[in-house]
Amino acid sequence: MVVQALAFYLFATIAVLSATAVVTVRNPVHSVLLLILTFFNAAGLFVLLGAEFLAMLLVVVYVGAVAVLFLFVVMMLDINFVEMRQGFLNYLPIGVLIAVVLFVELAFVGAGWTLTDEAVAVLAQPTPAGVGNVEALGRLIYTDYAYIFQSAGLVLLVAMIGAIVLTLRHREGVRRQKISEQVKRTRADTLEIKKVPVGRGI
């Protein structure tokens, strides 16, 4: 168990430190890279909890896809760091206020949380005995919570279609390659053989 404890403290320390650094470093690209490090350590914590499927999913979805797009956007922004710092004091009171509200809410939740004996027993084993991680999760979301899961999928589908509709623009005068037309082209469409009389031209 010593190794697990050491691994936990390693992941937890790096996660907390890098999460702090995300909001304190000056360069936004460094922020995103540190955010990725945080995600990665969170995945490590998931593995220690016995939720290896969730850990891999976190890496594939957040680190492998979401953060890449995030990094793209941040890399291509032309940000003036000095200008960005100027409004800092103006926004400070509102920011602190929101942080305090969130903190108080979290404290209330934490203080009012009691664990029943059943919950404690479940804590010790993340999945039912003899069932793999993936299977346990699959049983939950495709049997017990099938409708909720499907509607979540529908919401995401609608959001995706919305994003596509909002950004789809047809520009005039753009020449696009239409491969089907190129393939359908026959010799008769493009070539015409003419007999040219000698000395006359066409």
Partner 1 sequence: MELLWDGYIEPLVWIVAKILAIVVPLLVAVAYLTYAERKVIGAIQLRKGPNVVGPFGLLQPLADGLKLFLKETIIPTSANKGVFIIAPMLTFILAIIAWAVIPFDEGMVLADLNVGILYLFAISSLGVYGIVMAGWASNSKYAFLGALRSGAQMVSYEISIGLIIISVLLTTGSLNLSDIVRGQIGGVWEWNFIYHFPMFIVFIVSILAETNRAPFDLPEAEAELVSGYNVDYSAMTFALFFLGEYANMILMSGLCAVLFLGGWTAPLPFLDFIPGAIWFILKICFVLFIFLWVRATFPRYRYDQLMRLGWKIFLPLSFAWVMLVATFLVVFDKVPA
Where on the chain is the footprint of partner 1 (CB under 8 A)? 2-3, 27, 29-30, 33, 36, 52-53, 56-57, 59-60, 63-65, 68-69, 71-72, 75-76, 132-134, 177, 179
Are the CB atoms for 141 and 149 separated by under 8 Å? yes
Residue 59, C-beta contacts closer than 8 angstroms, at least 6 positions apart: 39, 40, 43
Residue number, 134 or 155, with CB nearest to partner 1: 134
Q: What DSSP designation does 140 have?
A: I
What Rg do the C-alpha atoms of the chain give, in angstroms? Answer: 29
Distance of closest approach, residue 8 Cβ to partner 1, in angstroms: 16
Distance of closest approach, residue 64 Cβ to partner 1, in angstroms: 3
Residue number, 2 or 120, with CB nearest to partner 1: 2
| Helices marked H in the chain | 2-24, 28-49, 52-57, 67-76, 81-86, 88-111, 117-124, 133-139, 146-167, 179-184, 187-190
Residue number, 1 or 196, with CB nearest to partner 1: 1
Q: How far apart are CA 138 and CA 77, in angstroms?
A: 40
Instruction: Give the three-class secondary structure for 156.
Output: helix
Distance of closest approach, residue 86 Cβ to partner 1, in angstroms: 24
Residue number, 36 or 42, with CB nearest to partner 1: 36
Distance of closest approach, residue 137 Cβ to partner 1, in angstroms: 11
Residue number, 15 or 33, with CB nearest to partner 1: 33
Distance of closest approach, residue 136 Cβ to partner 1, in angstroms: 11
